[in-house]
Amino acid sequence: MNSAFAFGLLLALAGLAGISFGLYALLRGGRNGRGGGIGPIPERGIHIIAGVRMLLVGSLSLATGAYLLCLSSSANCFASS
């Protein structure tokens, strides 16, 4: 197993985890009705910011991991037929 394959696999798995946590933060975070938050930002707003950030970083990690996996495979993923 070469290092590009191992790093691509790690990035792809981390990207999937980031996307799933981001979706969870957007869909369920901050709905307990206790108020809370940091200063003037309500708890729901914090979860929205964190969820969008996790979705963005997770998507970039997944795309980079897929790119590295494609480069390290024997088949050329970007060849036009």
Domain residue ranges in the chain: 3-72
Q: Which of 6, 17, 12 is nearest to 55 (CA)?
A: 17
Residue matched to tokens 């897929």: 66
pLDDT recorded at residue 73: 80
Q: How many angstroms separate the most distant Cα atoms in the chain?
A: 58
- Looking at the DSSP bridge assignments, the partners of residue 38 are 41
Q: Tens of pLDDT along the chain (81 residues)?
A: 788 889 999 999 999 999 999 998 888 876 665 655 565 667 788 888 999 999 999 999 999 999 999 888 876 676 665
Q: How many CB atoms lie within 10 A of CB 22?
A: 21
pLDDT recorded at residue 27: 86
* C-alpha span between 20 and 10 (Å, rounded): 16
pLDDT recorded at residue 80: 60
**pTM (two decimals):** 0.79
